[in-house]
Structure 1
Amino acid sequence: MDDYPLLNIFWTMLWLFLWVMWFFLLVKVVTDVFRDHGLSGWGKAGWLILVLLLPYLGVLVYLIARGKGMAERDAKHAMRYEEAVHQYIQKAAGNATSSADELSKLSALKDKGDLTQEEFDRAKVELLA
């Protein structure tokens, strides 16, 4: 432990943290390049070449040039995802409600005498299946 002082451990941890943060930004930039539908194929290729050939400079230039649009695209993607989840929940909950409504309608028809007990049981089994 005497060969590696505490300050060197601090600097190693700092450089490791910065490297992980840069790697995260690199993945985020590449994802954003492919997510942007307004960017042409040549534009995407150009940004990818810049980011891959000059990684640190490329990520920095991309964040400066397109950072605001990157945030807007992330917000739109999050909104679309949230709407899709909301629609799925409504659809799943709506099916349970409609089954209960149909069961109550069948019960009302049976109470009126429009359905026999056998017809009601058969329709109930089909509805719950």
Structure 2
Amino acid sequence: MSFWDIIWYIIVCFAFIAYLMLLFSIIGDLFRNEKSSGWVKAIWIVFLIFLPFISALVYLIVNGDAMTKRSVRAAQHMRDQQDEYIKHVAGGKSPADHIADAKALLDNGTITEAEFQALKAKALA
């Protein structure tokens, strides 16, 4: 096997992997598209199977902008859900809520005045 055969093999493998990534991106976008009916999605899938390169290029030309917008919207939705989860787990309470909780503990006798003042200072920091 010569050097150029190895280079050609690497180029072909790269192109094949890039095409697979493009194909999975298009299929993912097809199923993320709420405006298209099931029949339209099925037709696109059939064309992607039987005329893969031409239908991939046509899909990118026709739906390129909408594909980007759906991808950005999905990423933003995922980021919002992650932020909401982090706030929920981290106890996204306001300082006033923390002070009220500490005051309730003080009133119940669970903590001392010094501990209440420490918690209050920490909440206001």
Scaled by the length of structure 1, the TM-score of the pair is 0.75
Gaps of 5+ in 2: 112-125
Greater relative contact order structure (CA < 8 Å, 6+ sep): 2
- Counterpart residue number, 1:125: none
Match of 2:44 among 39, 42, 47: 47
CA radius of gyration, larger in: 1
- Does 1:107 find its partner at 2:101? no
User: Match for residue 28 of structure 1?
Assistant: 25
Match for residue 112 of structure 1? Answer: none
Where does residue 72 of structure 1 map in the other structure? 69
> Aligned partner of 2:18: which letter?
M
Instruction: Give 5+ residue unaligned stretches, structure 1.
Output: 110-114, 122-129
Q: Evaluate the alpha carbon distance shift between residue 95 and residue 71 of structure 1 in structure 2; reply closer, same or farther with a 3 A threshold.
A: closer
Q: Structure 1, residues 54-91: CA drift from partner, whole Å, max 9, x if none?
A: 11211111111111111111000000000000111111
SS at match of 2:34: coil
Quote the Cα distance in structure 2 between the aligned partners of 1:74 and 1:46.
Answer: 22
Counterpart amino acid of residue 68 in structure 2: A
Q: Would you say how many aligned residue pairs link Structure 1 and Structure 2?
A: 110
